[in-house]
Amino acid sequence: MTKHLQRDLEEIKQHVLKMGGLVEDAFHQACAAVALRDGTRIETAGTLERRIDRLQLQIDEEILKVLALYQPVASDLRFVTAAMKIVNDLERIGDLASNICERMRQLIDATELGEPVEIERMMELCTGMLRDALDAFVRSDSALARDVVGRDDEVDRLNRGHFDLLIRRMRKDPDAVETAVAVLSISRNLERIGDLATNIAEDVVFVVDAVDIRHQDLERE
């Protein structure tokens, strides 16, 4: 039975990685939509989203089957419950990537802002965080996962900076309002993607090191 369990766990892992690859593709579409000011990426993102959603339902079923059939314990149990959370977070990242594409679709023909908004820097950071969180998952690399967690502050900082900058811009230039609101929305979506990549990395640390590093501020009280 242990052999069957290991085979099924490996299958779940492969499906999570496949889902992760699709989510990375969806996020890549979103980044290209923003960088190239291309409003047509929404269709590709939508197709990817449906494949992502299907995989989510399938993996959730596989996880329930493994729990019911083999009653895994210790690290196998941590792996299975973490996989359930990771699948949830990946699906949400796919949603957010679609949101970004949708925003860009609405922006066609809108005013170019020409402000030095650091959206590209946020996209680079998030791309790296997502890639490394998935790599950490596949390689059971908790050091890499902890490194991902540490990068989220920079994403948050960039997002906050956008707020101040774009509010000032809208005050002095009413024509910039629509674009600025869209850029704010994209910035906020990226900030959430950073959070979710962080969640995935925290789950990897839990699987590998058997410690729950979420809500660390609670310990410090």
Q: Which residues are at the interface with a copy of itself (CB under 8 A)?
A: 50, 53-54, 56-57, 60-61, 63-64, 67-68, 71, 73-74, 77-78, 81, 84-85, 88, 163, 166-167, 170-172, 174-175, 177-178, 181, 184-185, 188, 212, 214-215, 217-218, 221
Residue 221 beta carbon to a copy of itself: minimum distance, rounded to whole angstroms = 7
Q: Which of residues 88 and 140 has its CB atom nearest to a copy of itself in the complex?
A: 88
- Residue with Cβ nearer a copy of itself (112 or 217): 217
Cα 152 from Cα 47, distance rounded (Å): 29
In the three-class reduction of DSSP (H, G, I as helix; E, B as strand; rest coil), residue 39 is classed as: coil
Least distance from a copy of itself to the Cβ atom of residue 197, Å: 15
Q: Half-sphere exposure (CA, 13 Å, Cβ side) for 185? A: 19
Minimum Å gap between C-beta 1 and a copy of itself is 13
DSSP character at residue 26:
H
Please name the residue that has the structure tokens 């977070």: 89
Closer to a copy of itself by CB, 36 or 57: give it: 57
Asked if residue 176 lies in contact with residue 113, where contact means CB atoms within 8 angstroms, the answer is yes
Are the CB atoms for 81 and 126 separated by under 8 Å?
no
